[in-house]
Amino acid sequence: MSVARACTFSELEQDSPLRVELEGVPICIVKDSAGEVHAIGDTCTHGNISLSEGFVEDDTVECWAHGSRFSLRTGAPLNLPAYEPVPVYAVTIDGDDVLIDPNVTKEI
Ligand code: FES
Render pLDDT for 41-58 as a digit per residue (tens, 0 to 9): 999 999 999 999 999 999
- Taking the C-alpha atoms of residue 96 and residue 59, their distance in angstroms, rounded to an integer, is 22
Q: Does the C-beta of 61 come closer than 6 Å to ligand 1?
A: no
Low-confidence stretches of the chain (pLDDT beneath 50): none
- The pLDDT assigned to 1 comes to 60
pTM: 0.96
Q: Does the C-beta of 81 come closer than 6 Å to ligand 1?
A: yes
3-class SS string, 32-90: CCCCCEEEEECECCCCCCEHHHCEEECCEEECCCCCCEEECCCCCECCCCCCCCCCEEE
- The pLDDT assigned to 12 comes to 98
The count of domains in the chain is 1
Q: Does the C-beta of 73 come closer than 6 Å to ligand 1?
A: no
Point out the ligand 1 atom lying closest to the alpha carbon of residue 81.
3
Three-state SS at 2: coil
Side chain identity, residue 43: T
Point out the ligand 1 atom lying closest to the alpha carbon of residue 66.
3
- Taking the C-alpha atoms of residue 64 and residue 68, their distance in angstroms, rounded to an integer, is 8
Residue 44 structural domain: 4-105
Residue nearest to atom 1 of ligand 1 (CA): 47
